Copies of this chain bind each other. A is one copy, B any other.
Amino acid sequence: QGELVDKFKRIFARRGRSIILAYDHGIEHGPSDFLENPDSADPAYIVKLAKEAGFDGLVLQRGLAEKYYDGSVPLIVKLNGKTNLYTGEPLSVANCTVEEAVSLGASAVGYTIYAGSGYEWKMFEEVARIKKDALRFDIPLVIWSYPRGGKVKDETAPEIVAYAARIALEVGADAMKIKYTGDPKTFSWAVKVAGKVPVLMSGGPKTKTEVEFLKQVEGVIEAGALGIAVGRNVWQRRDALKFAQLLGKLVYEGRKVEELAGEVQ
C-alpha cells in the first residue's frame, strides 16, 4: 500500500518537499536547448550543479548516467525517450531496463506515457512490464504523464492535466510529473485526483522572467504538490545556483514570491 511512495519521498523529498533537476533534453529536444548556456551541454557541469545547489534528485538517460553519474545526488534514470525529429504518433519506448537503471545507481526510474496517442496502448503495455520490474527491484516508478494526440487539443488544459494525473495513479505510479495548468486552483484538482501519488510539476521552457516561473512554483506548492522537476528554468540561466536557492525558499519553506521580491530579477 504505497511503500514505494514513501520510499520515493524518503529519498527525493528529505525536506518534506522536492526539487528535482531534469536533464533528458539532449534526447528529447536535442542540443539546441544547451545553446543559451553552453556549459549546460556538458553532463559533468549538470551533475556538479545538482550537487552544489542541493537538488533532491537528478534525471538522466542511461547513457549519461553510465558515463557521468557520481552518486552525489539521488538519481532517476529516465527509461524511455524519443527525439523531436520524430513526427509519427507520439511514442516513446524504453532504451534501458529497470535492472540496468538499478545497476547505474538509480533510486527511481522514470517513464513517459502519451495518453491519447495512437500508440497509447504500446506505452501502457511497456509501463506494465516496467512496473513489474520496479516492484521486483523495489524501486519507485515516476511517470511523466503527458497526454498528446487523439482528443487532446491543449496539453495544459485543466481537465487534461487532471486526467494525466489520474492515469499515472491508475497504472501504478509512485510519483508523477505533470504539466502546470496555469493556476493553483485547477492544479489542485489534478493533485487531488492523483490521490496518494505525489505530484511534481514539469518545469517546461524557460520563462521570460524569473518571477514568471517563480509564480508558477508558488502556485504548484499552494495546490498541494510535492514539488517540481525543473530543467531549462535552471540550467539555461547563468546564475543557476542562485536561482535554485530561490526555488528552495518557495518549495521547502513555503515562502511567497512577493516576500522574495528583493531577490528576484
Write out the residue numbers on chain B whose beta carbons fall within 8 Å of the beta carbon of A254.
none
Residue in chain B with minimal CB distance to A193 = B31
A195 within 8 A of B: yes
Each complex incorporates copies of this chain amounting to 5
A94 within 8 A of B: yes
| Contacting pair B31 A91 (CB below 8 A) | no
**Whole-angstrom distance between the Cβ of A163 and the nearest chain B Cβ:** 4
- Number of A positions contacting B (CB below 8 A): 76
Given contacts A30-B162, A67-B196, contact A115 B85 (CB under 8 A): yes
Q: Footprint of B on A, CB under 8 Å?
A: 1-2, 5, 24, 26-27, 30-32, 34, 38, 41-44, 61-64, 66-69, 81-88, 91-97, 100, 115-118, 120-121, 124-125, 127-128, 131-132, 135, 147, 149-152, 159-160, 162-163, 165-173, 189, 192-193, 195-197
Additional 16 contacts, C-beta under 8 A, given A31-B162, A63-B173, A83-B115: A2-B67, A31-B166, A32-B159, A38-B192, A41-B193, A42-B195, A44-B195, A68-B196, A85-B115, A85-B149, A85-B150, A85-B151, A86-B117, A94-B128, A97-B128, A100-B132
